[in-house]
């Protein structure tokens, strides 16, 4: 995993070195003269070897010094202050919602397999899986924000001001991200449980006089949850990516909005930093998913 | 070809066919010129003359949604075509020959597929700028690994089967075996992935264009319409709802088709 992380940071660094154009041109603007540009390049260390700069950047990154932003006139660290918390809280809330919605729903649907409830929900599931989170966000803004006035579209309260208000403003964005994912997990869990129900060990458990709930709890779920746990763990990466888009819908001041603004401003130190941070989170989550899978099922070996 | 869930396949085929017909008709005829502004008919709610109403410039939303759906579908199809073509070659060769090149490429594939494609697409756009063609290339390149992986696994499985050995005995060359004998046999496995790839491309393009880093005016796209429509949610909610519904129908149709063909129908 460490090698992957190092490789990703190197690629991210190199990617932003090959961009055509010199950042000094934009920074100096109308004050541009070749001499000043040269002086600035020296000051910014752009005249040194790429690998030397990568090493400097990496050691800086690890110690929390992430360089200077081109467009905000302060350090990348200051620009990112508080933004990571918003994205992290949003992603985490969405992820917990996925679990809270899909696990009970999946179990209930498998219980009433083939019944009216099951058929209605399975059809609805298909539709929910097809809704892009940002469109769900727009619908929520309209229904809950503009019509029912449950929240102020575009409003936001920082966690320092009022933690409850902060979480309140994240509920609908988190739901917008969570619902399509929850639909996928519900479907996976339902079919996973149904796949186990026909097995011999289930019949044995029943024949020993277990109630349906006991069979489910003690025998079936342990097996049926395996693929679901892996999927749910991997979803977190998708959710972080989804929050980039959904932050834009709800005008939340998180990393996603900063990333897009910085792409527009060509503020590459900020873009680079955010990309590497998100990449690290993704790699780490995927690694965690592997570890969790292996822990609950020792038959699976990590290579 | 095994069609596992016939109900899914039928429903998907009906929805997808409906969208395709609408898009094809829209390419030759729309009720109004999608870009014609009409100062007297701004923000009309849905009525007989404008079934989906009009927008802030008095443009007919039905015509615009049809045009946008066509543009989005074309971009998605082009993206899948790039990913599939390159994926077939890379996956085919690495699966057939194996060896160290196979190892290296698959490790690279693993790294790329682990990432949410929207993040990688944003990085590419940050580096090379947006616009219709750059979006197609950026997404197309990002789709190569997932196709290559599927093709590789199937080719590796098929190459040890008897019919390949027979073909080799009859003196067929590697390329002939790979593309004339093996390829037709992996189509059933590939089709569901193509449908899902199309869906992922539709969603990715819509998200990027919504964020303002994808398709740029004057090119149409459903994502860009949603971006515009969000500003008029209070006065013209039907604008956003129509554009969103078109995306949902496209994704739903192809998702069901994929499941009907034996895929798992998951977009990710």
Model pLDDT for residues B87-124, shown as the tens digit of each residue: 999 999 888 888 888 888 887 777 777 677 788 888 88
Mean pLDDT of A65-81: 78
pTM above 0.90, yes or no: no
Specify which residues A176 forms β-bridges with: none
More confident site: A43 or A102: A102
Shortest distance between the Cα of A267 and any Cα of chain B, in A, equals 10
Entry field: residues in chain A = 303
For B92, B158, B167, B180, B190, the CA distances from B175, given in Å and listed in that order, are 10, 14, 12, 8, 19
Cα R_g (chain A), whole angstroms:
24
Per residue in B208-253, pLDDT (tens digit) is 889 888 888 777 788 888 988 888 888 888 888 989 999 999 999 9
Instruction: Classify residue B31: in a domain, yes or no.
Output: no
Mean pLDDT for B153-176 is: 87
pLDDT at residue B162 tops 80: yes
Domain-located, residue B222: yes
**How many angstroms separate the CA of residue B165 from the nearest CA in chain A?**
32
Give 3-state DSSP helix, strand, coil % of chain A, rounded to 5: 75, 0, 25
Chain A contact set for B252 (CB, 8 A)? 126-127, 129-130
Whether B49 is in a domain gets the answer no
pLDDT at A301: 63
- CA B260 centroid distance within chain: 17
Is the domain of A213 the same as that of A286?
no
Judge if A124 and A204 occupy the same domain.
Answer: yes
In a domain, B43, yes or no: no
Say whether both A246 and A265 belong to one domain.
no
Residues A23 and A110 in one domain: no
Do both A139 and A240 map to the same domain? yes
* Listed residues A251, A266, A290: the one ending a domain: A251
Q: What is the mean pLDDT of residues B122-144?
A: 85
A139 and A39 belong to one structural domain:
no
A132 with A28, same domain?
no
Q: Which of A4, A13, A70, A138 to mutate to test the interface with B (most CBs of B within 10 A)?
A: A138
| Domain identity same for A205 and A246 | yes
3-class secondary structure, A19:
coil
Task: Tabulate helix, strand, coil % of chain B (nearest 5).
Answer: 75, 0, 25
Question: How far separated are the first and last CA of chain A, in Å rounded?
Answer: 11
pLDDT of residue A302: 54
Question: Mean pLDDT, to the nearest integer, of A32-47?
Answer: 72
- d(CA B92, CA B193) in angstroms, rounded, equals 16
* Averaged pLDDT of chain A: 83
The model's confidence at residue A6, banded by pLDDT at 50, 70 and 90, is confident
A213/A73: higher pLDDT: A213
Residue B267: per-residue pLDDT: 44
Angle at A132 between CA B251 and CA A226, to 5 degrees: 85
Domain of residue A158, CATH code: 1.10.3720.10
Could you tell me how far CA A264 lies from the centroid of its own chain?
22
CATH number of B63's domain: 1.10.3720.10
- Chain B residues touching residue A182 (CB < 8 angstroms): none
C-alpha–C-alpha distance, residues B246 and B157, integer Å: 39
Residues of A in contact with B268 (CB under 8 A): 184, 235, 238
Cross-chain Cβ contact B240/A142 below 8 Å: yes
Nearest CA in chain A to B252: A130
- The answer to whether the beta carbons of residues B43 and B55 sit under 8 Å apart is yes
- Of all residues in chain B, the one with the smallest CA distance to A142 is B233
Residues A258 and A246 grouped into a single domain = no
Domains held by chain B: number: 1
Domain around A102: 83-251
Domain residues for B144?
Answer: 7-23+58-261
For A83-126, write each residue's pLDDT tens digit. 888 999 999 999 999 999 999 999 988 888 888 888 888 888 88
Q: How far is A210 from chain B (nearest CA, A)?
A: 33
DSSP structure string for A89-123: HHHHHHHHHHHHHHHHHHHHHHHTTTSHHHHHHHH
Q: What value of ipTM does the predicted structure carry?
A: 0.84
Q: What is the pLDDT of residue A102?
A: 94
**How many structural domains is chain A composed of?**
2
In which band, very low, low, confident or very high, does the pLDDT at B1 lie, cut at 50, 70 and 90? very low
């Amino acid at each position: 995993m460490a090698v992957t992380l190092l490789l990703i940071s190197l690629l991210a660094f190199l990617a932003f070195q090959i961009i055509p154009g010199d950042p000094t041109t934009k920074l100096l603007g109308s004050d541009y003269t070749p001499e000043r540009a040269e002086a600035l390049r020296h000051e910014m260390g752009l005249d040194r070897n790429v690998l030397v700069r990568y090493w400097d950047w990496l050691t800086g990154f690890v110690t929390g010094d992430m360089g200077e932003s081109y467009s905000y006139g302060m350090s990348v660290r200051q620009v990112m202050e508080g933004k990571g918390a918003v994205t992290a809280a949003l992603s985490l809330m969405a992820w917990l919602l996925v679990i809270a919605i899909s696990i009970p729903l999946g179990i209930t649907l498998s219980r009433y397999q083939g019944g009216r409830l099951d058929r209605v929900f399975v059809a609805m599931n298909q539709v929910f899986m097809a809704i892009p989170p940002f469109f769900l966000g727009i619908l929520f803004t309209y229904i809950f924000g503009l019509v029912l006035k449950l929240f102020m579209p575009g409003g936001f309260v920082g966690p320092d001001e009022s933690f409850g208000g902060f979480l309140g403003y994240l509920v609908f964005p988190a739901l917008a991200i969570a619902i399509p994912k929850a639909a996928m997990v519900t479907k996976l869990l339902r079919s996973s449980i149904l796949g186990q129900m026909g097995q011999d060990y289930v019949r044995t458990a029943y024949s020993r006089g277990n109630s349906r709930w006991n069979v489910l709890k003690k025998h079936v779920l342990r097996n049926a949850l395996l693929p679901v746990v892996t999927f749910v763990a991997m979803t977190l990466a998708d959710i972080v990516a989804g929050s980039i888009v959904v932050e834009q819908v709800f005008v939340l001041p998180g990393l996603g909005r900063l990333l897009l603004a910085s792409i527009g401003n060509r503020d590459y130190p900020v873009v680079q930093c955010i990309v590497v941070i998100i990449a690290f989170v993704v790699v780490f989550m995927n690694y965690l998913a592997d570890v969790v899978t292996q822990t609950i099922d020792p038959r699976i070996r990590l290579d | 070809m095994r069609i596992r869930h016939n109900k899914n396949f039928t429903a998907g085929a009906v929805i997808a066919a409906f969208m395709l017909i609408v898009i094809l008709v829209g390419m030759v005829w729309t009720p109004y010129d999608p870009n014609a502004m009409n100062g007297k008919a701004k923000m009309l709610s849905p009525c007989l003359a404008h079934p989906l109403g009009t927008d802030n410039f008095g443009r007919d939303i039905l015509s615009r949604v049809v045009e946008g759906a066509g543009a989005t579908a074309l971009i998605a199809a082009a993206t899948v075509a790039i990913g599939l073509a390159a994926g077939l070659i890379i996956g085919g060769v690495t699966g057939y020959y194996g060896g160290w090149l196979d190892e290296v490429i698959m490790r690279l594939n693993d790294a790329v597929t682990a990432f949410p494609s929207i993040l990688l697409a944003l990085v590419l756009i940050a580096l090379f700028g947006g616009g219709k063609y750059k979006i197609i290339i950026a997404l197309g390149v990002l789709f190569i690994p997932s196709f290559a992986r599927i093709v590789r696994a199937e080719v590796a499985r098929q190459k040890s089967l008897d019919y390949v050995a027979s073909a080799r005995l009859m003196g067929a060359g590697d390329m002939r075996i790979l593309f004339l004998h093996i390829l037709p046999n992996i189509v059933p496995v590939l089709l569901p992935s193509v449908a899902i790839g199309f869906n992922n491309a539709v969603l990715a393009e819509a998200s990027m264009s919504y964020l303002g880093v994808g398709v740029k005016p004057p090119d149409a796209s459903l994502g860009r319409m949603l971006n515009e429509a969000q500003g008029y949610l209070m006065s013209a909610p039907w604008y956003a709802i129509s554009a969103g519904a078109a995306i949902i129908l496209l994704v739903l149709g192809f998702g069901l088709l994929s499941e009907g063909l034996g895929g798992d129908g998951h977009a990710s």
